[in-house]
Amino acid sequence: METGTKVTTKEFAKLLETQQKERLVKTGLGCVSNLENAKVSIREGKKYIKIDIGTSGKFMIEKTTENIYGIKAYGVIHRGHHYGNLQTISQYYWGDYSPIKREAV
């Protein structure tokens, strides 16, 4: 992502899906079924935007701050699992089960 430009939820979802699918192919799990289940969808709520991978909830984005959180259960935010915000998504690798913070260069 370019610095200085505002990142949208759709761009985050596209990055998340791309990195998930790349990991599946790299680890030899890139069959059609797995790649189909790696599709990312977005669900708008009043306070949060829900990011689902396949049929499972994965992340929630706070609308006011654009902070990204993991979830405890579907629709339940986990404030202990904070992964930056939409403007800092390039600081993480999103392909694994949990996001991994990249080393500062």
pLDDT band of residue 1 (cuts 50, 70, 90) is low
Cα torsion 18, 23, 28, 34 to 10°: value is -50
**Which parts of the chain are beta strand (E)?**
40-44, 48-53, 56-62, 67-73, 76-85, 92-93, 100-101
Query: What b/e string do you get for 77-102 counting C-beta neighbours within 10 Å, with b at 16 or more?
Result: beeeeebeebeebeebebbeeebeee
pLDDT tens per residue across span 16-59: 999 999 999 999 999 999 999 999 999 999 999 999 999 999 99
Task: Give me the residue spans of the domains in the chain.
Answer: 9-101
Beta pairing partners, 62: 48
